Chains A and B, each alone.
Chain A
Amino acid sequence: MVRAAVPRRLTWRVATVVDTRQETSSARTLVLDVPDWPGHLPGQHVDVRLTAEDGYTAQRSYSIASAWPSDDGGQVELTIQRLEDGEVSPYLADVVAKGDQIELRGPVGGWFVWREKQPAPVLLIAGGSGVVPLMAMIRARGLARGRQPFRLIYSVRTPEDVCFADELRRRVRDDPGLDVHFVYTRKAPEGSPVPPKRIDVAAVNSHGWPPDFQPDCFVCGPTSFVETAADILVALGHDPKRIRTERFGGA
């Protein structure tokens, strides 16, 4: 179970956009400068609050994509996937620009986190933008030079929908302890030996860890994807208590 952290009040902080990176046609990373940021664990999220000129506000939660401390010092990165009928994500994915400010508070969450002291191998299963908190874990492991073997199974519609593609390629190339397997649900890359399909028992069985390795499993994505992937893990014999899930719901 979770050990209670020292409770402290979460106050709204002003974050300044210092850089943006287009990840895919529908996902963008915001690099935020947050003065006095207390740091965070990989897997945690923040609440973002936007205020319109007339005082109307909207809040949403977004996973943190970066590890802490980030490679370039005191910054927090959010990777936002645009939801077509969303109220907040189109603004963050398309409109906000370098120099603009948004409010956030956090970090939030103590369950869906990877701690570098955990020696167990790790299985990460991502559905679409569910890769974001899992990427934070991969980055944190890199930062800590962790030797726990990591495997990521990343389900996307098409090769063009892969977030962090170059970075994942580089990390896999340079780090024998990290493997990434892609599951393409609508269009596979040119010359792929397997046709597009959804995540299934075979993919998790071949590219995950055997249950007797007792890996820590983190599954993140849309509800139906997480239900399927978690059910597969349980069916393969993984201890439900070692399977941590985070489901994205709402718009």
Chain B
Amino acid sequence: MGIISRGFGGRRRDSSPDLPPGQYLTHDFPVLSAGPTPRIPLDRWSFSIVTETGEKHSWNWDEFTALPAEEITVDIHCVTKWSKLGTGWKGVSLDTLFEDVESAADYAMAHSVGGYTTNVPVEDLLDGKAWIAYEFDGEPLHPEHGGPARLLIPHLYFWKSAKWVNGLRMMPEDEPGFWEAAGYHMYGDPWSEQRYHGD
């Protein structure tokens, strides 16, 4: 236990078994991005998976939104301490996208319009754990929240859920992405409070 802060009582309004350590509840949807919000026209949108052998699987917007989609309700946890419970999304499961992809890589680097990257183990993308989401609360995903489409990996800190995602590059070895190279944790499990290097 830490040192007592004299006179601090806290609100306790945030106590919920669904809240990972060090997080508090928010009811709005804060935006956190490293730069300006890109506006991506749907006719220029694409998503691709590139394997370790260089094989490329691509979808344009029409092809992508024609894929079977799932509606999911998940809790999300930002490393800046806010958590939002019961958020509703619609998107394509990564299981669907990987159906025809031949890859033995254990890691993937997510790439976004604007140059953002983040690394994720493949096992955290599969088996119903991750989606490419294009609707939030029944509405098309707003650009400031990563629209037209973002990666959604709710069981990891939200910086792993790359906004404006446009591809996954399969990697045999783990490599740091944008925030990971700046001192953030390589994996980012909120329940183990893996915020920064060495946590």
Is B34 in contact with A250, judged by CB distance below 8 angstroms?
no
The one of A51, A243, A249 that contacts B30, using a Cβ cutoff of 8 Å: A249
User: A29 CA to B65 CA in the complex, in Å?
Assistant: 50
Q: Is the interface of B mostly helix, strand, loop or mixed?
A: loop
- Interface: A170 (CB within 8 A): no
Is B182 in contact with A2, judged by CB distance below 8 angstroms?
yes
- Interface: A245 (CB within 8 A): yes
The one of A3, A10, A59, A245 that contacts B199, using a Cβ cutoff of 8 Å: A10
Number of cross-chain contacts by CB at 8 Å: 150
User: A247 CA to B78 CA in the complex, in Å?
Assistant: 13
Chain B residues whose C-beta falls within 8 Å of the C-beta of A47 in the assembled complex: 81, 195
**Binary contact track B162-199/A, C-beta < 8 Å → 1, others 0:** 00000000000000101101110000000000011111
Given contact pairs A61-B80, A250-B24, A250-B80, A223 touches B10 in the complex (Cβ within 8 A)? no
- Interface: B115 (CB within 8 A): yes
Chain A residues whose C-beta falls within 8 Å of the C-beta of B3 in the assembled complex: 14, 51, 101-103
Q: Is the interface of A mostly helix, strand, loop or mixed?
A: mixed
Is A243 in contact with B196, judged by CB distance below 8 angstroms?
no
- Interface: A109 (CB within 8 A): yes
Is A250 in contact with B36, judged by CB distance below 8 angstroms?
no
Chain A residues whose C-beta falls within 8 Å of the C-beta of B81 in the assembled complex: 47, 59-61, 250
**Binary contact track A211-246/B, C-beta < 8 Å → 1, others 0:** 000000000000100110011011000001101110
Whole-angstrom distance from the CB of A35 to the nearest CB of chain B? 13
Whole-angstrom distance from the CB of A250 to the nearest CB of chain B? 4
Is A55 in contact with B5, judged by CB distance below 8 angstroms?
no
The one of B26, B33, B179, B196 that contacts A245, using a Cβ cutoff of 8 Å: B33
For the complex with contacts A52-B8, A101-B5, 11 further pairs of A-B residues with Cβ separation under 8 Å are A3-B181, A8-B198, A49-B2, A53-B4, A58-B10, A223-B144, A243-B36, A249-B78, A249-B82, A250-B30, A250-B81
Name the 10 nearest CB pairs between A and B, nearest first. A249-B30, A110-B182, A9-B198, A230-B36, A7-B197, A250-B82, A87-B11, A51-B2, A50-B5, A2-B182
A interface residues (Cβ-Cβ under 8 A, vs B): 1-5, 7-10, 12, 14, 47, 49-53, 55-61, 87, 91, 95-96, 100-103, 108-112, 223, 226-227, 230-231, 233-234, 240-241, 243-245, 247, 249-251
